[in-house]
Amino acid sequence: MTAYRTLEQRFARLAALEGAAGILGWDAQTLMPDGAAEARGDQLAILRGMAHEILTAPETAGELDAAEAAGGLDPWPAANLREMRRVQAHAGAVPRDLVEASSRAVSRSEMVWREARRDSDFARLAPHLAEVLRLQREIGQAKGAALGLDPYDALLDSYDPGMRRAVIDPLFSDLTGWLPDLIARAREFQGARPEPLPLAGPFDVAVQRDLGLRLMAALGFDFSRGRLDISLHPFCGGATDDVRITTRYDEADFGRALMGVLHESGHALYEQGRPAPWRHQPVGAARGMSLHESQSLIVEMQACRSHEFFAYLAPLLREAFGRSGPEWSPENLHALNTRVRPGFIRVDADEATYPAHILLRYRLETAMIAGDLAVADLPGAFNDGMQELLGLVVPNDRLGCLQDIHWPSGAFGYFPTYTLGALAAAQLFRAARAAEPALPGCLAQGDFAPLRDWLRANVHEVGSLLGTDDLLTRATGAALGMDAFRAHLEARYLGA
């Protein structure tokens, strides 16, 4: 046990470094002055280099070998050792200088992206994005060679352990086959009904924030271990036991910020609910981004766009904004928040058209990593895909390929997890409703405890003890699939 106990100490130190980097990254996107960007990039690069040094030290490899040879571990420590080896294998495949170079390139690229997006100026970002892509291709090739994977699968595995294109491609091919027809039928179905009444602004940002905080509390967010702030791109980050979520406000439309808060709160509940004895060990980490996205979507889409939720929300909105009238009825609010309407912005998309945004980004990022799509050709390819998949003519790059921070941040391999998460969310919510028949009525009262407790027991507290498919099979009776998601969309948007 000596080797294993030493490894636990090493990985606890690693978790502390990652937590410090998480807080610095949060600060860079919320409060940091622009002039500090270069220094912050160096700080993050050094922290990531130190973490890489711990993982690739000869002592770490030797202790892993010794612990694996000794065996005899109980299930949680055995799974922790398995996850230690996986993390170490990823790190060991990439030289430290490449890790630090990538970190610095990402820091520069993220800062330039803010300006480029604001000014719809892709040319300003292009050289920085090209450098990020070059380094990500190197990382993918290095990891692929070490892990026996192609470069894209190696990058994907960093975000979603065990996920492969061989799993994604058939699912996405199936989705591509029926989604356009469902969108068309949903729009026809909704077009036969009266148009929902619009909500007239402005909506005070301070009131929006207070409302978001109230809903976070109802969901069970622990404010002693987290907070809400503003950023250009909403996210959930921070560190273990210090979970930071952000949103962005629009005085003309409170729904964007509100749904953003609910979405990021789903991520935060996962982080705050991870198994306490293992929070500083790999086995205590969330099990990949597909499951993480399932937790945000089960809150935002499955629960908080239901008829029951709007019965709870409607009086809160009327009180908060001092409004009344038929447009503030639960029925009208539900209709407004479940409209199927193709739009340019992914994060504002309805859940029926959202997967089309992901299909496009998956197509483009796999081509970029394979070397089949140059950065200079990205805007045109993006615009062509938007017209093909959603019938939209993109007017400028701010509404096109500049809208997301993922590629400037080097997050190649992340995008498919959004739609994989939607599939998992549908499966999990169906299972939760079967296990907790009173759940819909509880949502109508603003009582999220039955859903939260079921997710805590079946997802959050499981950490990385199980693989994604094993966890889903135990919780829902089936591995990841399309059936529950398709049935959910048909029920909500076609009245099926």
- Is the predicted pLDDT of residue 293 greater than 90, yes or no? yes
- Is the predicted pLDDT of residue 177 greater than 80, yes or no? yes
Crossing angle, helix 378-390 and helix 122-147, to 10 degrees?
90
pLDDT of residue 223: 97
- Is the predicted pLDDT of residue 369 greater than 90, yes or no? yes
- Across the chain, mean pLDDT equals 96
- Is the predicted pLDDT of residue 284 greater than 70, yes or no? yes
pLDDT of residue 242: 96
- Is the predicted pLDDT of residue 233 greater than 90, yes or no? no
- Is the predicted pLDDT of residue 392 greater than 80, yes or no? yes
264 included as an active-site residue: yes
Helix, strand, or coil (residue 81):
helix
Global pTM value = 0.94
Encoding tokens for residue 347? 């994060």
Residue range 80-123, pLDDT digits in tens? 999 999 999 999 999 999 999 999 999 999 999 999 999 999 99
Helix, strand, or coil (residue 238):
strand
What is the rounded average pLDDT of the residues 458-472?
A: 97
List the catalytic residue out of 8, 110, 131, 264: 264
Query: How far apart are the C-alpha atoms of 467 and 473, rounded to whole Å?
Result: 10
Q: What percent of the chain has pLDDT over 90?
A: 96
Task: State the pairing for strand pair 242-247/226-230.
Answer: parallel
- CATH architecture for residues 167-199+277-494: Orthogonal Bundle (1.10)
- Is the predicted pLDDT of residue 137 greater than 70, yes or no? yes
Q: Are 336 and 199 in contact (CB under 8 A)?
A: yes
pLDDT of residue 348: 87
Residue range 5-25, pLDDT digits in tens? 999 999 999 999 999 999 999
pLDDT of residue 496: 67
pLDDT of residue 347: 87
Query: How far apart are the C-alpha atoms of 162 and 289, rounded to whole Å?
Result: 11
Residue range 306-358, pLDDT digits in tens? 999 999 999 999 999 999 999 999 999 999 999 999 999 998 899 999 999 99
Query: How far apart are the C-alpha atoms of 220 and 201, rounded to whole Å?
Result: 29
Amino acid at 346: R
Helix (H) or strand (E) holding 228: strand 226-230
pLDDT of residue 232: 81
**What are the φ and ψ backbone dihedral angles of 244, each rounded to 5 degrees?**
-110, 125
CA 3 to chain centre: 35
